[in-house]
Each structure stands twice: as structure tokens, then as C-alpha cells.
Structure 1
Amino acid sequence: MRQYRTLVRRTWICVQCRANSSVASPNVLRASSKPKSGLPSEPARTRFAPSPTGYLHLGSLRTALFNYLLAKRTGGQFLLRIEDTDQKRTIPGAEERLYEDLQWAGLQWDEGPNVGGPYGPYRQSERTALYQSHANDLIASGHAYRCFCSVERLDALNRQRNQAGLPLGYDRACFDISAEESAERAAKGEPFVVRLKADQYPMFDDLVYGKTGQNRTGKKQLELIDRVYDDPILLKSDGHPTYHLANVVDDHHMKITHVIRGTEWMASTPLHVALYNAFQWTPPQFGHVPLLVDRNGQKLSKRNADIDISIFRDRDGIIPDALVNFAALLGWSHTHKSDVFTLAELENIFNLKITKGNATVVFDKLWFLQKAHAQRCAAEGGPAFESLVERTTKVAEQKWPQEQL
């Protein structure tokens, strides 16, 4: 017993948790659950759409978890989509690591790579023709246009405006090119991008923040001669989509009903809604969850290796239920007496009571949850406990020489 005591870290326990240290059973949770607060009346189809340019970290795990829980709580489906259009920044093996980390956490997708589904393929690199087709649809409807401006011209325009103290943007030099000339130049192989004709970015109803957005026009107008427009690029000169086009097209075709993502994407949502309107499609419902910050109020960087899921799992020996429990409490509130929940219990009680302010990450709480889930695991015994002992032993052997153990 003395050998194991050296492995236990000092844990922080909040007053509420200390007063309610017993762990509620799933049956108790079912009995005490309130009506589905703020949940849709129909099954939700949600998705997690990471890029293989990095590894799963605490923030992305929480995003995946909230989408997963919303789908499971409503009897819907949780999709995994790989947004791999940025091939230059793709990290070899990152996609496989992503699958491993999600499955370790218990977040199994209903549709996606290695699983299949009716709306595949589920990698964006395999859907390029679809994006090009929809970009052409927007050109035909007058909601987008080809832009043949060179990089040099655009750089010169921005430098000129910056030196004059004017807002940056595009002057729509190619907007007045006739449809015939535009098609002819494209057919001859002249490089071009496709821009959205962004006349208005509408407000939208956010599941967390309510009515939001600035309902602003896409033009930045001073005098007529100084007029510039946002007109974001949808299709790049190499024929690949930007994030905005691919995201909207995929969510529509995969019949996504709810998009839960970080508040850093909030500024892009009016553009996405404008794209849905241009296509005459019904947008999904959006919900933006708070940023994760440290004790000093600084945003947790995904480049910080300490929040990589593999660090929690392999270096610290964190139990999957403990990390999932910890991630769920970062911005989500509940009315139960205990903060200790398994993934199965979270599936049964999750709602959309998400806070609007930043969520402070206090890792002392993670170690409190780790202890609670380890105690539950030991009490239940079986393969899960044997696995816990094996993982704990591995962590101990990595930290201390054999003679000390």
C-alpha cells in the first residue's frame, strides 16, 4: 500500500464537491434529470471537423465532446469530417492519432472515415469537384464572380491604401467583367479565384449568445473613389476551396443541424450565413462555446504541448472518464450536486446551458476528478480496474527507478 501512496497527488476539492463526495449512480441521474433545457425537439446531427495539421488538444476535445453529447442526448448522429485541404501544413500521422485519441476518450463517430455513411466521402480532399461545382453555381446566380487580379496587383492595392490611411479590401476590379469574357478567360487557363459578392452579412441567432452579429454590409465605403469590399475568396487559384466554402457545402450536404464550436469562429459565422442565403439553403443552428483561458486570463494555446491529449493519457496516466468529465465542465453548467460524471452519465444529462464568459482551466480540478473516477473504477473492479493498474504502473515506472519502486 505504501508503494501506491507515493503516486497520489495532493488534490484540490471545492466546497461543493467536499460536501457531496459520493458519486451518483446512473439511475439517480436519470431520476433527478430535469427536462431537456434548451435542447432541440428533433434528433440533432452534429459534426467534429478537425484539420490534420495538429493533434487533438483539450479545447478540440471539448468541442468534439459537446457535439457528441448533443447528438447522443437527442437521439441523433455524431459525424467526423477531416478538413485536409491544407496539404502543405498536414502532419504525417496526425489523422491516425486523431482517431486514436477520440476513441480512447470514448467518442465514437456514427459517420465518417473508417466508418462510412450515406454522405461521404468524409475527407475534404476527396470532395474538390463538389466545391468547384457549387462555386460555379454561385457565379451563375450572380452571387460570386471570377477575379483575375494578380497577387502583385492586390499587394500594391493594399500598400497604397495602407499608406493613405484607408481601410483594406478589394475594389471589385473584376466584378464588371462580362460573363462571356470571364468564362472565356477561365477556359484559356488564365489563373483566377472565385470571390463571394458580399453585399450583406446578416445577424444570426446563436444558441449561447442569442441574436448576434453586426448586420453589416460587405462594403467599406468612404467616397466613391475609395470604395472597397470584403468579397472573400471562396475558391483558390489552384481549384481548392477556402475553409468557408468547404465548411458550408459539407454541412449542407451532410445534413448537419447543429454546429457547436469555439467563439473564435463567431466572427466568421455571418459570412457563413450569407453563403447559406446565397445558395438558398437553410443554415444549421450555431452555438459558440467560451474560450479556454489560464488563471491569468490568457488563452490556452493549442501549441502548448501540455494540453495535448496524449500528454494527459501517456505521461500523466489520466483516466478517459476523468478527462472527458473535466472537459465537459469547461463552460457547461448543471444542477446536480456532484461534478463527477462518466461519459454515459453525461450523455444522459447534457443540455445547452453553456456559459458566455471565458472558461478558466484549473488543473487541480482534473486531479480531483481523476481520484474520484479511480475510486469508482477500483470499487467496480473488472477489466477497467486491471487496465487502470497497468497504466498506473507504467506511469510510475517511467517516473521512478525500479529500485525506488
Structure 2
Amino acid sequence: MGDREAVNAFENSGGGGMKTILVVDDEPAARYGLRRALENKYRIAEADTAAAARESLRRESPDLLLLDIVMPGEDGLSFLRWMREEGHGQPVLIVSALDTAKTAVEALRLGASDYLVKGFELEELRQRVSNLLKMASLEQENDALRRRLATEGQFGQMIGRSAGMRRAFELAERVAATDSTVLILGESGTGKDLLAQEIHNRSARSGKPFIAVNCAALPETLIESELFGYERGAFTGAAQQKKGKFELASSGTVFLDEIGDMNPVTQAKVLRALENRTIERLGGTQPIPVDVRVISATHRDLPAEIRAGKFREDLFYRVRVVTVELPALREHKEDIPLLAEAFLQLHAARMGRTAKLAREALAALERYDWPGNVRELKNALERSLVVGQGAEIMPGDLPQEVMRGDAAPIRDARR
């Protein structure tokens, strides 16, 4: 068969809306077998050379390609390389008689989605094709979601269109352009770490390190050495010098998460670092210049901590030149549908599934108070996908506490 006959479309009745598969193989018998195996569910186009396949890509806009490797003239791998270089992103299933690991690895490296050796069962072919088309559809949905979120209430990895979230995003955007210290307030799970990261990403320091320290997770005996480092011999086991987070973040940002849990001795040293822009390693005597921006976060009421003698007032004023407050999720429930959709698609993509929320399930999410905030919502939707096996998340797939709406006792127990 020559190039002039290379492209033939086979379409059964009622083919509108059917996915199109382009079969690229120089052997007529192979093309015939693949077409017969798939034409009941898909529209099939054929090409017997790479040149004909190029024309078919333009004319047919296929959703998936079945591509042989050994063909006269330009082989399948060269055609695949050209496809990806030209920006054609359709999934490609290699269907070849070549059964070598080297060939398969090279095909996958060039952008093939899967590899089948000729001699396969037809049901296996149908399953591979179905899976690849589902994944491609899911990726398109995720791309559309990302584009929509980019214009509808997204700040980095954070999502929200409510007034409270918009205020936080707008203030964070403005402060990112400065070098001021920032204090982020909010309950656990509201996304304080994500906001800190995005402020850094939009700042003049974005090309430099962003180093986070969870002050609540480090015992009092370790936090000082983690922040400021230590000299060799500073304590038993200090066999060599170690730089702390302030030095490692040179020209970048140090994020002091849960600064309200920091002990008073370390608070004094952080204050000194902010005032003098120098630190001293544990066991050292020489001041070391540091150039870092400090962003802090806490779920605690720092003025109350100051009154109780647990937090230094002078440090408070140093770290809160600008304060950004993230509302609890129960205070901006209007964002739950958008958040739920984003998290559901994120988890579904990772699991290779498609899923949507039943209206009743969304209503349950909106009734619940979410003591764990956005983090709890994200985890609840992941759990629902694991438990629920259908294409739609039903109320019974949600965690029991969400269905019962008993968030208040949980929140009281945490205080």
C-alpha cells in the first residue's frame, strides 16, 4: 500500500462522540486485526507509514495511537520522537513484535505510554487501550481544573474565593514583594505552611532556600542546635561542626512554624538574630552574619501567651511586622465545593481513577465544622476514594464523624 492509500478511516454508524484511535503499522494484516478488535467501541483510522501518520494526526486528531516500531523508511521510535518534539501529547501504545527490554525502555523514554508485544490476547489490548484513554481524559480534566483555579481564587497551592481567603491572599501578595517579617495566624490545618512557601516563592529570595522548622516538634534540647548549628565538641556526640537552619537558608527564608511553642531561651536567641542579623553556633564564640527573611506561624494566641509569661513581647513585635490571618474552614464554608473538587481530582489522579461527589455527600461536607480544617477535608476525601469503589462518592463513603456532624466535641477536646 502506498502513501496515497495510507489513511483510511473506518467508522461505524453512530460514531459521533466516539474516541478515535490511529493505528500506525506497515502490515495490512496487523492493521486489520487491530481494527477488528477495537472498532465496536472506537473510531479507527489507519496509516502505513510515518509520513501518512503525520497527515492523519493533522486530519483525524486521534485520541490515542497504536504504533509499530519496525516500518520502512522512518521507524516508529523516530516518529514518536517527532510527535513529542512537535507537542503532540496523545497517549501512544507501542504494539510491536520486538520483545527486548532495551527497545521497550527506549520507547517509554521517548514518551510512549505503554508497550505490548505482538501475540497478546485481544482482551489485554482492549484493557490497555481503555486504561490509557481514561488516564488521558483524567489529565485533561485536571488541566482544565488547574486553568480554572488559576483564575478563580488560587494562591500557589492554596484555594479560596471567600472574602477571608481573598484578604489573606491579597495581603500575602503585597508582603511578598517586601523583605518584612511575617506572622501567619491560623488554626492547625489551615495551610499556614503553604502560605509561607508561596510568600517566599513570590519574593526576591525565591531562587534561594526555603527552610522550614517545626518548633513544636523539636524538643527544647535540640531546637537551638537545629536553628543555629554547633561547633565540634560542643556537646557529647558533636564529632564535627554542623550548620544550623539560619546558615543553611543564607539569602533565603527561614519559616518558624509554631513559633508560639518555642522555649524562652531560644526565643531570646532568635530575637538577637533578627536584631543583629548574626547568630552564634552552640559551643562557638564568634558571631556569624546571616542574611535571611523570617516568616513565622502559630495557632496560639500570642498576646495571651505574653500575658502568661510564655512568649517574649519584644520578639512578638519583631516577627509580626505584617500579620496574615487564615480563617478556619468553618468560617469560609463557601469554599468547600471548590476545595473538595480540587482534592478529589488530586487523589483520583494519583489512584488512576475518575470520581465525583454526589450532591448529598457535598451537603454533608458543608454541614460539618472541620476542626482539622483544610487538612482534615483533604484527608477525608482521600479516605472516601479508598472506601468508595464507585464513580461517585456517596455519603456512606465519608468518615462517620462527617456524617454525624460531631465536630464540636472533637474541637473542644483539642483545646
TM-score (norm 1): 0.22
Larger radius of gyration: 2
The answer to which structure has the higher helix fraction is 2
TM-score (norm 2): 0.21
Higher RCO (Cα < 8 Å, 6 or more apart): 1
